[in-house]
A and B are shown apart, each in its own frame.
Chain A
Amino acid sequence: MSIVVGVAPGHCSHAALHLAVLIARSSDLPLVAVAVNSAAWPRSRRLSGVDGEYQRFVREEAEAVLEKAKAVIPDDIAATYRVHDASSTRRGLLEACEEVSATRLVVGEKVTESDRGDEVELGSVVTGLLHSAHVPVAVAPHGFRAAPGAVLSRVTAAYSGSETSGDLVIGAAAIAAEAGEGIRIASFHTRPRAFLAARVGQDVENDIVSEWEDQIREDVSEVLDAIEQFERPPASVEVVVGSGGSWGEALRSIPWHETEVLVVGSSSLGPLARISLGSHAMKIVRHSPVPVVVVPRNATEEYVAQADELLD
């Protein structure tokens, strides 16, 4: 078991490395820094001439970025470094995860010149990973830094009211408890707009929201009951609801620790969500002020099973 962190040649992956270190230290797992050489395809043919030169160049680039990573990763973390040849970055990272039987994959957000404010911009590789990964993917927001020696103090699990998300919250709580962290169950909503022409006023949606909050708090009590059964209870248990006009506001309406991650299930990131907009998980990833651990649909079962193991 290990934590895989993807470092991209040519990019500065400090945020991802810092997050990976934080997670590795909190969970006591070794770190594997992977730079994918996506130009090495097809793999079997030996290339000569210009192609060979180019191959050497990208390989050197990948090795150079791993050297840089070495400088960032502190000595208390057991880390290995590898260049992985694959047809695409996404596939390379997934293959690397498989080879070292990773439990988490850590990546950084896309780095662009344009300033998008608070919004996390996901590159195509990360978006693809969120859809296809078999392990939870942690996304580090741009500029994320963890203090030397820091460990995770709390895990916030997003709860949407669905059964899957209830299981995920319990899973996250088990893993957090094992690592001696606190768990916080958070639900988020943006205030819906009423139909103005319907002649029922604007406040009616506020009532719907407060009714929804009551409902969520009622449902969450079941999850809390399950958490109470733990042999080793989490350091702290908390339930919060974040609200705001937009997802950004909603996520920022609750206080966050500096060393905290938000766990989001993404059962809705299925094939349909690729074409239809409006996946809540995706919006949460984009607007979260802290690193987000997305548990893709493919990884949900394993994640929950992993938690069950810890409980037994």
Chain B
Amino acid sequence: MTSTLRQQLFRVKPVPRDGGEGGTKLKRSIGLFQLTMIGVGGTIGTGIFFILSEAVPLAGPAVIWSFVIAAAIAGLSALCYAELASSVPVSGSSYSYAYSTLGELPAMGVAACLLLEYGVSTAAVAVGWSQYVNQLLNNLFGFQLPQALSAAPEEGGIINLPAVILIALCAFLLVRGTSHSVVANTIMVIIKIAVLLFFVAVGLTGWNTNNFADFAPMGFNGVMAGAGIIFFSFVGLDAVATAGDEAKNPRRNLPIALIAALVIVTTMYVLVATAGLGAQPASEFEGQKAGLSQILENIIGASWPGTLIAAGAVISIFSVTLVVLYGQTRILFAMSRDGMAPKIFQRVNPRTMTPVANTVIVAIVVGILAGVLPINFLAEMTSIGTLAAFTVVAIAVMVLRRREPDLERKFKVPFYPLIPILSIIGCLWIIRNLQLITILVFLVWTALVIVWWWFTGRKNSMLGQQLDSGLIVLVGPGKYREGDAERAAEHLETGTLSVPDPVANPADGEEKR
């Protein structure tokens, strides 16, 4: 009973009815304010500290519009994400959602996007951190790492050492077992916002309207190219959606928190961009390192405001790196349990209760990326990964509405189908405006992941094995029913398949997990 190719490509992971194992369901404990803070905390700190130096050269002062466009598309996507998260009663990443709605092949596509989004954005953020660490060292001790040790080869260095060290540090914390608290998150958010508000307050003292004279030198295409690279700094907004299953009254609070987080983040970004542009001509942004610090130092003529900003950036970027690196390891872990990634990623160290090998491998790969790649390329790669994942999410929302209209959804996208469609158009539009090399690398990468799945995951798939052994029975395209509900549920929970069903398929006796 081998499944056909079509079945393999689109087998959909069944959703556990009782909400998964452990039996201990999380209490709905997160209120509206904290939910908003999770969105703000997940977002601010990824890009704003260094993205201006990359985006202003592309768009000129019209970069303000780039921010607004990126925000609008991020908002639309986040709404779709929220519906998907609330209608699939598994908690997880968009990989899990895609697997439970669209099937295995699309899930692998999303996984490819997510690996880019997480892995590469960790690298990008680490590179940004390295700039601010250098700035801080210089301001405090008059000492700076040589260019060779603090820049990527393309930028005239050998390796970006601080970025590598940051990744190693975060990996160490994750291996030791660090868990997160809602309170810590809120404190980090307050630090970030305070630092940015300080920048705006000081930055506005250097206001010069002439800087806006040539508002959009590159025209509309420039604005869109800027939006492409800036989209990266809105990565993390969907944290609101995934935290939704712990939120009180999600039907009301989820959309409010999403919109509130989006408004807060966008306002902060636009304020920072406006203050920065008012303080120095657009032409000066290019190649500026630790941009926000530099701008303030140029205005005041003293180093202390820059030091303050640099210190704030070092703290908040650190927390973001930790969180994103964590996310990457857990996505690989989930994939490994599904049979979609090598087994080594699911090995948990009994002492620390963390996936040590997984964390170390991820850290090495991300560390290499951060060490040798320039930041603008990394930022664009993150953007394209996120945009593609968001596109799939919007498609999944529409597929699910059509296929399972009666499914209980705690949150529904308003103005359906307008918003998912706009979200898809918006994402594709931004992708179109990214550099050709970015799109090519993305396509090659996704193709590689799919090819890899073709030769390994397709056969190792836990779900595939369950289907083959008759634990789950396929009833029509994309529809499954448990062959033996109790046993299937049990196996789904543990993710193992140690005892094949001898009645359904005696030939599969040697098949083991």
Contact = CB atoms under 8 A, between A and B. Distances in A.
The answer to whether A and B interact is yes
A208 B354 contact: yes
Contact of A196 (B93, B246, B337, B496): B246
B330 A198 contact: yes
A206 B353 contact: no
From A189, A207, A216, A245, name the one whose CB has the most chain B CB atoms within 10 angstroms: A207
A198 B324 contact: yes
A196 B353 contact: no
Given A191-B24, A208-B354, A201 B90 contact: yes
A199 B179 contact: no
A193 B92 CA distance: 14
Contacts of B355: 208, 211
A197 B333 contact: no
From A199, A211, A243, name the one whose CB has the most chain B CB atoms within 10 angstroms: A199
Given A207-B334, A209-B22, A200 B354 contact: no
B185 A192 contact: no
B157 interface: no
A201 B241 CA distance: 9
B348 interface: yes
Interface in A202-257: 202-212, 214-216, 219, 243, 245
Nearest to A204: B330
B26 interface: yes
Interface in B315-356: 322-324, 326-327, 330-331, 333-334, 337, 346-351, 353-355
A197 B348 CA distance: 22
Interface in B412-427: none
Nearest to A161: B350
B93 A201 contact: yes
A168 B242 CA distance: 42
A187 B241 CA distance: 34
B238 interface: yes
A162 B22 CA distance: 25
Given A198-B330, A202-B246, A211-B346, A192 B238 contact: no
Nearest to B355: A208
Contact of B495 (A205, A207, A245): A207
B350 A215 contact: yes
A182 B278 CA distance: 77
B354 A206 contact: no
B350 A196 contact: no
A288 interface: no
Interface in B342-377: 346-351, 353-355
Contacts of B21: 206, 210
B96 interface: yes
B41 interface: yes
A198 B354 contact: no
Interface residues of B, number: 51
Interface string B1-38: 00000000000000000001110101000100000001
Contact of A197 (B42, B347, B493): B42
From B179, B330, B495, name the one whose CB has the most chain A CB atoms within 10 angstroms: B330
A111 B92 CA distance: 47
B177 interface: yes
B351 A200 contact: no
Contact of A202 (B91, B236, B323, B494): B91
Interface in A243-279: 243, 245
B91 A196 contact: no
B351 A201 contact: no
B180 interface: yes
A216 B93 CA distance: 27
Contacts of A216: 350
A204 to B, nearest CB: 4
A275 to B, nearest CB: 16
Contacts of B337: 207, 211
B243 interface: yes
Nearest to A162: B351
Contacts of B90: 201, 203
Given A208-B353, A208-B354, A192 B239 contact: no
A160 interface: yes
Given A195-B323, A212-B350, A201 B24 contact: no
Given A196-B243, A207-B333, 14 more contacts: A161-B351, A191-B22, A192-B353, A195-B323, A195-B326, A196-B30, A196-B42, A198-B180, A200-B326, A201-B90, A201-B93, A208-B355, A211-B348, A243-B22
13 contacts: A192-B179, A198-B326, A198-B330, A199-B238, A199-B241, A201-B242, A202-B91, A202-B246, A206-B20, A208-B333, A208-B355, A215-B349, A216-B350
